[in-house]
Amino acid sequence: MGLSTVVLWAVSSMSSPVHEETSNHGEASVYFRSDELQGPPRLDLRLNPLDATQAESITYPKDDWYQYEVGFGLGGYILKDRLWFFASIMPRYTKTSRTVNFLLDGLDHTTAQRQNSYFGQVKLTVNPFSGLRVSASFTNDYYKWKGSLAQLDGTGNPDYQYDIYGYELPGWTAAARANFIVSDNLFFNLDSGYFRTNRKQLVEPEGPRYYFSRSNAGIKVFFGITAILAQIGSTSFIGSSRTQEFLPLPRPKGTITP
């Protein structure tokens, strides 16, 4: 919708620019954008909510929203030529508010949605003796969304609890690596990692939301009742137009197949 502008600010520093292995680095950044930095909304074409046979042009009002990120990164050595570290974090916060006039009651209602992400990483690298380097890292990727936005055309239900729905999506990764140099012609490398993610609804369903029409045994499930209708040479299922052949149709004795 229209033009968009963002504000980005960053600063970095290092204690010694001589060599990466023996210097400490730091960086901080701020990222911000919102509806105030966005151009005007464009004209939209829709069907009239009160008469689906009529098309009309309309300009919806802009949502009130903002998004910002504040992060930093720091890395360098703890023990010179032996132990190094790196750490960074970059959370992201987004909030959107929308005011809609609902057709059912003719009143204005404001709904809001929040989306937060938390990104972070920590890494340690050690060189216990010449030829061997071992490192371990942990990365966090957590996302949470809460709240829904009402339809812009006002066809939503004003009694719906828009603010309670959402989900959490936690995730993280752990990794380790070992490099061992035996000689100029022989090198060993070992890598390992583990990734975990999950999805959790903030409002759990009251019951099953999907029924499988067929079980893994090839049995038709119709309105919660398992039913098998056997026919000669075939098996049909209630509520299904498919016929699955299991046995050849038996022929009377003495007949000749054309």
pLDDT for the residue 242: 40
CA-to-CA distance for 227 and 222, rounded, in angstroms? 7
CA-to-CA distance for 171 and 122, rounded, in angstroms? 15
What's the token pair of residue 4? 């968009």
Task: State how far Cα 5 lies from the chain centre.
Answer: 25
pLDDT for the residue 108: 93
Q: Which of 5-14, 77-86, 99-108, 192-201 has the lowest mean pLDDT?
A: 5-14
pLDDT, tens digit, 9 for 90 and up, residues 5-58: 455 554 554 444 434 455 678 889 999 999 998 888 889 998 888 888 999 999
What proportion of the chain, given as a percentage, has pLDDT over 70? 72
What's the token pair of residue 232? 């000669």
> What's the Cα-to-Cα distance from 92 to each of 9, 26, 71, 142, rounded to whole Å?
15, 20, 9, 10
Compute the average pLDDT of residues 170-180: 95
SS3 content of the chain, % helix, strand, coil (to 5): 0, 60, 40
Opening angle at CA 29, ends 26 and 35, nearest 5: 175
What predicted TM-score, i.e. pTM, was given to this entire model? 0.68
What's the token pair of residue 158? 């004003």
Q: How many CB atoms sit inside 10 A of residue 194's CB?
A: 9
What's the token pair of residue 213? 């029409």
Give the contacts of 22 (CB within 8 A, at least 6 positions apart): 16, 77, 80, 81
Q: Over 90: is that where the pLDDT of 81 sits? A: no
pLDDT-derived band at 141 (thresholds 50, 70, 90) equals very high
Question: By C-alpha distance, which of 100, 116, 95 is closest to 35?
Answer: 95
Q: Average pLDDT of the chain?
A: 79
